[in-house]
A = this chain, B = another copy of it.
């Protein structure tokens, strides 16, 4: 059961000494497991990683030893020897003018997607969104980097180009040459929404968008708006665009926008705004006894929340954080492999989920 030979074993003695003098409970290492199982440490390593076949009986002995000693391999040692930290960094500035729940949904989705592939997420926010990015790259703390809350003109684009750590953007910056970017195809989504309404005879469509500032600081708000406007022009329909108010304290902006849109005589409403705003508008319409879709058609574009939580669930082209983040993680993983992916955009095709809130325009 032990490898100790009949003569005095200096190594074993030293180790015993080390473990006994350590304060408190000594941490179990692969050496102890090997001794306990009567095999070499390499066999233990292979038995646990499965990278080499190990005789059934041997493996069982090792597993028993692992269980008995409650061994778990030391993360730092694995990182150093294995040249992988199994950590991805997520850089998310969390600018104060953003809608926190939406951004949080993406951060959480990266964590879930990463764990699926045995990776953990290191969170870089505030000023560390930029500083931390080069730091984790140069120290090798992270094997890859996920970039969230991408601005049209984002510092992190230049940073990403200057480091060798694989980096994937979730969102599309204006200048994305040579970068790997994952995102919903917002333009297609916006066009599809316009088309659906135009096909049904709507000629005057309200678009309730995000806050003013979102159209300067986010990469996707302007993409939805401009694609919608362009397609509307092609289809000969008119779009009335309105923004919603301040994120946390808006109590009038959204209602005011609805009033304006109704005055403008729109027969359909496209939403590209927060759950809160959509909840207010839909609730208001219900209060007004408006018949949906008879009096007005409703579509939500790129909603990243559960549409069925609205007072009335409406047609939606969902933005699924889990989907973007899962793809981003897979790209990062394959960037670490032998055949790294080509740089470029990976736009996820929109999927339309009907709820019966879109109908023909009633003259």
Could you tell me the distance in whole angstroms from the C-beta of A141 to the nearest C-beta in chain B?
Answer: 4
Number of interface residues of A (CB under 8 A): 54
Q: Are A120 and B132 in contact (CB under 8 A)?
A: yes
Q: Are A248 and B122 in contact (CB under 8 A)?
A: no
Smallest CB-CB separation from A141: which chain B residue? B75
Q: Which 7 A-B pairs have the closest CB atoms?
A: A76-B79, A75-B141, A249-B279, A75-B139, A72-B138, A76-B80, A100-B101
Which residues in window 68-119 of A have CB below 8 A to B? 70, 72-77, 79-80, 85, 87, 90, 94, 100-101, 104, 107-108, 111-112, 115
Q: Are B100 and A25 in contact (CB under 8 A)?
A: no
Report the bound CA distance from A87 to B123 in whole Å: 11
Partner pick for A248 among B108, B115, B123, B279, CB 8 A cutoff: B279
Q: Are A309 and B111 in contact (CB under 8 A)?
A: no
Q: Which residues of B contact A70 (CB under 8 A)?
A: 138
Q: Which residues of B contact A128 (CB under 8 A)?
A: 111-112, 115
Smallest CB-CB separation from A99: which chain B residue? B101
Report the bound CA distance from A25 to B162 in whole Å: 13
Smallest CB-CB separation from A85: which chain B residue? B76
Smallest CB-CB separation from A309: which chain B residue? B249
Q: Are B140 and A27 in contact (CB under 8 A)?
A: yes
Q: Are A126 and B108 in contact (CB under 8 A)?
A: yes
Q: Which residues of B contact A94 (CB under 8 A)?
A: 104, 108
